[in-house]
Structure 1
């Protein structure tokens, strides 16, 4: 968490904790740019009870800061184009977050040390299993861009190199 708080302090991002129990259950954090105070991350106060989820959500909201969200999740989108843009924004923020908490070079080390499942990798990186699946999904997309069709289980068996070296 120190790495994440260092980024927040360096970028002067404000962080607030609020009760999100009235929101849909899959919303744990929101990123805004508020004119008067600047960048703002609002997190569900219940994240204090789930260290791994807290790290993952905070990293993704920092990802929104760096990838400059182009839509507002609080606005109902009646356009399929706006919904597509929102999905792209979410993917970019998630990719930033997974790269931040699970760098490719460290993932290779974890695989070389014997981690052979998403559960073991999630333990190794102190993230949720869903977050680890997300990272592996981004790696599969990276390999596909190079022409390799890779299944998730293959990521544990192939000699992997960081995506930025392959592409």
Structure 2
């Protein structure tokens, strides 16, 4: 299972020096190559006891090594907390990171076990929630998410296998499928019908 991949061993095999530094937040990680071609990854000491953050940040820094910098190029890449945008170089590194930590087949296995919420997926794969969100974004863009989401609408009993639910994909990823007391719905119409019927039953009980 790649979710258990030892990134420190991978870095060692690549001849990359990984060390902890007293970086000031929001700087969390730093990748660079020296003039002699030695690749170095620096990690913020503040995340040393945070396994999820360490795995997520280290994977992204390794992504820079594999996707853009190379072993013999002097490059500098910084990883900041709460970044507002992602450059093309960062996106390539982050894509490598999330697809390495969360391969499609293992993401599919998690979904088959009913692990679909971002926070639950973060616990399952031992990564940050933002790592999960980016992985799901890639899955949606590649059409993988459509193959992951399979559920039965509790109102019309329609089997849903894609993102027909009328929300933006960001909201859709946050909710996976609109859920209310473990009920799932394929559309706002079905959700509305369900709520109206439940409210009517509730009023009868009150009366």
TM-score normalised by length of structure 1: 0.74
Label 1:32 to 1:93 Cα distance change in 2 as closer, same or farther (>3 A).
same
TM-score normalised by length of structure 2: 0.60
Label 1:11 to 1:73 Cα distance change in 2 as closer, same or farther (>3 A).
closer
Q: Does 1:111 align with 2:114?
A: no
Task: Supply the distance in 2 between the matched residues of 1:2 and 1:125 (Cα, whole angstroms).
Answer: 10
Higher strand share: 2
Runs of at least 4 residues of structure 1 off by over 3 A? 69-74, 154-157
Corresponding residue of 2:51: 51
Corresponding residue of 1:136: 136
Deviations along 1:50-95, one digit per CA (max 9) or x if unpaired, are: 1100110000000000002496457xxxxxxxxx9x8111000000
Task: Supply the distance in 1 between the matched residues of 2:76 and 2:63 (Cα, whole angstroms).
Answer: 15
Task: Supply the distance in 2 between the matched residues of 1:10 and 1:68 (Cα, whole angstroms).
Answer: 18
CA contact (8 A) 2:118 2:129 kept: yes
C-alpha displacement of 1:156: 4.5
C-alpha displacement of 1:128: 1.0
Deviations along 1:75-118, one digit per CA (max 9) or x if unpaired, are: xxxxxxxxx9x811100000000011111110000000111211
Higher helix share: 1
CA contact (8 A) 1:111 1:156 kept: no
Label 1:89 to 1:125 Cα distance change in 2 as closer, same or farther (>3 A).
same
Name stretches of at least 5 consecutive residues in structure 2 with no aligned partner: 79-84, 145-161, 164-168, 178-207
Label 1:141 to 1:2 Cα distance change in 2 as closer, same or farther (>3 A).
closer
Q: Helix, strand or coil: the match of 2:142?
A: helix
Label 1:133 to 1:39 Cα distance change in 2 as closer, same or farther (>3 A).
same
Q: Helix, strand or coil: the match of 2:90?
A: helix
Label 1:109 to 1:63 Cα distance change in 2 as closer, same or farther (>3 A).
same
Deviations along 1:136-167, one digit per CA (max 9) or x if unpaired, are: 111122229xxxx952537956xxxxxxxxxx
CA contact (8 A) 2:18 2:41 kept: yes
